[in-house]
Amino acid sequence: MINLLDLTKEELEAKISPSFRAKQIYEWIYKKDVNSFDEMLNLPKDLRLKLRENFYFDPLKKVKSQESRDGSIKYLFALKDGKTIETVLLPMKDKEVDENGEITRHTRYTVCVSSQVGCKMGCSFCLTAKGGFVRNLTAGEIVAQVLYLKKENNIPHHRRVNIVYMGMGEPLNNLENVAKAVKIFTNNDGLAISPRRQTISTSGLSSQIKKLGDLNLGVLLAISLHAVTDELRTRLMPINKAYNIASVMDAVREFPIDMRKRVMFEYLMINGLNDSLKDAKILVKLLHGIKAKVNLIYFNPHEGSEFTRPTEQNMVAFRDFLQSKGVTCTIRESKGLDISAACGQLREKERNDNA
């Protein structure tokens, strides 16, 4: 059977007769949140029967979820083959109400999606690497994560969410399916999520960054940098042996991006390892000529890790130095510290509990 979520509207039109029914099906799934073909009442009964026999659109089953005091929710999903992935819903801005009780701003959400079951990158600070790489997700399995979270949390269709491809896996190692998911998300008959609301994060596969740029999808780019010397970055991220810092920076400089936007650099701060002012000074030089935004991230400790969380003092000093040199820099507020928030943590815990 075919997962309908794997199909762009154009691909669905080629499989359905008459083709205009594809738009109706898309609207039922993405705008009206139906759970079965029987609910698609404007479709003829014979078409609904054919759809039931040949298609499905429920590739995910929730295994468990954990909700943090800050409102973030981490989900563990089982796929059709029994493999598991994680997805996180992050409330970024709270709802605001005026003195009359009228909502002046709705809660704004970001969904962090996985692109692979496991990961090949082997980063020393990431728990996902412990389970090794299993397989790529299909476009539909990526799309289903956002669809499920919107439905589960009663986020209406017209309330847009931001999508970050920062969950399990390296998105650019699954570029074909990730690019297809971007296009499905973007379709106006579906979720209609602008590419400018979608950020693809990579550990720095320079050749794949170029391929992503050539696709001209209009998405934002985030680079997981985490170190300013090749020696340390190779220790943290073995992929640096193949794609060193210089090659990553060269690829970023060629990446097409909306002039109103910036390339985001994720910098995981680890106590005593990469959090000094000396590191900050080197980072400023590396970013010369790049319209960049740096996100400083507190290392989120997990059991068995050799690394520890940096001090607030060092985080602030690092940020202030970058800002003094004209580099846009923020400290990302850690979310979900009271739950299994680190990437791969909930999946690994479930595996250990069932071992």
Report the catalytic residues: 86, 343
Instruction: Please check if 123 is assigned to a binding site.
Output: yes
Placement of tokens 């910098």 in the chain = 267
Within 8 A by CB and 6+ apart from 158, the residues are none
Within 8 A by CB and 6+ apart from 339, the residues are 66, 67, 68, 72, 74, 346
CB 135 within 8 A of CB 82: no
Instruction: Please check if 352 is assigned to a binding site.
Output: no
User: Strands 162-165 and 198-202, how do they pair?
Assistant: parallel
24-58 core/surface letters (b: 16 or more CB in 10 A; e: else): ebbbbbbeeebeebeebeebeeebbeebeeebbbe
Q: Where are the alpha helices (DSSP H) in 19-63?
A: 21-30, 45-54
Instruction: Please check if 7 is assigned to a binding site.
Output: no
Within 8 A by CB and 6+ apart from 166, the residues are 112, 113, 199, 201, 222, 266, 343
Tell me which H or E stretch contains 295: strand 292-298
In terms of phi and psi (left: phi > 0; alpha: psi -120 to 50; beta: otherwise), the region of 232 is alpha
CA distances to 74, 114, 149 from 137, rounded to whole Å, are 18, 8, 17
274: amino acid identity, one letter? N
CB 310 within 8 A of CB 271: yes
Instruction: Please check if 224 is assigned to a binding site.
Output: yes
Instruction: Please check if 112 is assigned to a binding site.
Output: no
CB 203 within 8 A of CB 343: no
Instruction: Please check if 300 is assigned to a binding site.
Output: yes
Distance CA(143)–CA(181), nearest Å, equals: 6
Distance CA(144)–CA(297), nearest Å, equals: 28
Distance CA(268)–CA(296), nearest Å, equals: 6
Dihedral, 34, 35, 38, 42 alpha carbons, nearest 10: 10
Give the residue ranges of the annotated binding site for S-adenosyl-L-methionine.
169-170, 201, 224-226, 300
Give the residue ranges of the annotated binding site for [4Fe-4S] cluster.
119, 123, 126
Give the residue ranges of the annotated binding site.
119, 123, 126, 169-170, 201, 224-226, 300
